Chains A and B, each alone.
With several copies, the nearest count.
Chain A
């Protein structure tokens, strides 16, 4: 501000306009007739929505990020195989949502678990559907995960500078399989029970750490009332928390490093270079 003329005290000066309050640039010409009522409504509704979005955008600065993310350049040759990663994530989200709702009825007690699972299936509205989605969705997720991994491997998308993302993906694979293992016990029928016994004893067969690993999973030396709550806690809290965090890191790296072109296009490019010579 000028220091020559004594200015008004600050509280008397008009506030500088906030960015959102600037005069709207009149890109819509003055209407030459009275606007129709419907038009006016539509316009003000649109403006209201734009104002809300503008208000949010001004405070969060998401629009440059969103523009960069949604309209980013992708390599030539990007095809349907590139959607396998998103599909896997969608499967995870579906598992998370159905899982939260199943937890509202499920009871991780050795004497009540089977009963509550059958209550979900037979009594609750849409229970069979939701439990089925969770059960078959787990298989779908693992199939999609392996397909996504195969795509990455075959297209060579694990190479520099994407090694770290491959490593994170492998950890996600292991965690997803651990979800399958811990979830298998929860219906607590004969199949669940014996499959878990066998799986825990497989863990016990590792030299040196095996017995400790099995004891950790069982919560003691024998399969007891603690085992099923422990599997439930791993299935609901520990492993999904880790998976969600690692999916975040995985996506961050994908957004940062971009995707690769399919190998056949890279080969074409190489040949083009040779022909140019």
Chain B
């Protein structure tokens, strides 16, 4: 029997059987062992009591929704057309001054050429194509050139086509987009979202995160989004 064997090979179960002075009958844990364990447990609980909230405090931003639920006016509808992008500046975080400003490119949605449209399930297509200038390779700002109708990133030579899809270089998915709507004849820009190479819509991701095929499971979304 395994039980018998282990009884034979190990220390006796009861402290009395080990010949300890002052052992009580039926006592299986030495008092030193009990005190050591108790002290370690108490110390562990005390440490966890301040370390866990502190850790949660430091790590919380990883699990909070970073999207800003507000719409920013970027100009009247007459500013934009379907054949050329217009640069506009929006503010992603008013708390950091100049660093919080971001350039975006805006043009009218063209139902002919813009297929498929990154719409949200069955809803209407977004009436304006609003591209982020953040290169999805490593986050440098891309620039739009009208003559070749391409976006070019100065850092490592990423090139995107007129729809924001990758045309060359290291980027892993098309440029991020923004929600857009028209209110009283003025174009308003909302939340950022990411798209994969088929322009399927995803929650906002970091640059360098793949979103095609199996890759999308290796780059998880933020928990709360």
Which of B15-23, B54-62, B71-79, B115-123 participates in binding chain A? B54-62
Whether the Cβ atoms of B222 and A211 lie closer than 8 Å is yes
CA distance A222 to B55 in the complex (A): 20
Chain A contacts of B60 at CB under 8 A?
124-126
Whether the Cβ atoms of A216 and B50 lie closer than 8 Å is no
Which of A164-172, A195-203, A248-256 participates in binding chain B? A195-203
Chain B contacts of A129 at CB under 8 A?
53, 57
Counting chain A residues whose Cβ lies within 8 A of the other chain, the interface size class is: 35 or more
List the count of A-B residue pairs having beta carbons below 8 Å apart: 137
Chain A contacts of B99 at CB under 8 A?
110, 188, 193, 223
Whether the Cβ atoms of A197 and B140 lie closer than 8 Å is yes
The answer to the question of B45 belonging to the interface, with a C-beta cut-off of 8 Å to chain A, is: no
Contacts A124-B57, A216-B62 given; does A205 touch B50 at CB 8 Å: no
CA distance A211 to B49 in the complex (A): 28
* Majority DSSP secondary structure for residues of A touching B: helix
CA distance A32 to B6 in the complex (A): 10
Whether the Cβ atoms of A98 and B205 lie closer than 8 Å is no
The answer to the question of A154 belonging to the interface, with a C-beta cut-off of 8 Å to chain B, is: no
Whether the Cβ atoms of B97 and A133 lie closer than 8 Å is no
CA distance A36 to B6 in the complex (A): 9
The answer to the question of B46 belonging to the interface, with a C-beta cut-off of 8 Å to chain A, is: yes
Whether the Cβ atoms of A216 and B61 lie closer than 8 Å is yes
Contacts A104-B58, A125-B60, A211-B222 given; does A225 touch B93 at CB 8 Å: yes
Whether the Cβ atoms of B61 and A39 lie closer than 8 Å is no
CA distance A193 to B96 in the complex (A): 12
Chain A 98-124 interface 0/1 with B at a Cβ cutoff of 8 Å (1 = within): 100100100000110000000000001
Contacts A210-B208, A225-B95 given; does A194 touch B140 at CB 8 Å: yes
Cβ contact of A31, chosen from B5, B64, B98, cutoff 8 A = B5
CA distance A124 to B95 in the complex (A): 16
Whether the Cβ atoms of B57 and A130 lie closer than 8 Å is yes
CA distance A125 to B6 in the complex (A): 49
Whether the Cβ atoms of A220 and B208 lie closer than 8 Å is no
Whether the Cβ atoms of A32 and B5 lie closer than 8 Å is yes
The answer to the question of B218 belonging to the interface, with a C-beta cut-off of 8 Å to chain A, is: yes
19 cross-chain CB contacts under 8 A: A28-B10, A31-B5, A32-B5, A32-B8, A33-B1, A90-B46, A101-B57, A110-B95, A126-B56, A133-B53, A201-B137, A201-B206, A208-B220, A211-B220, A215-B62, A216-B61, A220-B61, A224-B93, A225-B95
- Residues on B lying within 8 angstroms of A by beta carbon are 1-2, 5-6, 8-10, 46, 50-51, 53-62, 64-67, 92-93, 95-100, 137-140, 155, 204-209, 218-222
- Residues on A lying within 8 angstroms of B by beta carbon are 28-29, 31-33, 35-36, 39, 90, 94, 97-98, 101, 104, 110-111, 124-127, 129-130, 133, 188, 193-194, 197-198, 200-202, 204-205, 207-208, 210-212, 214-216, 218-226, 228
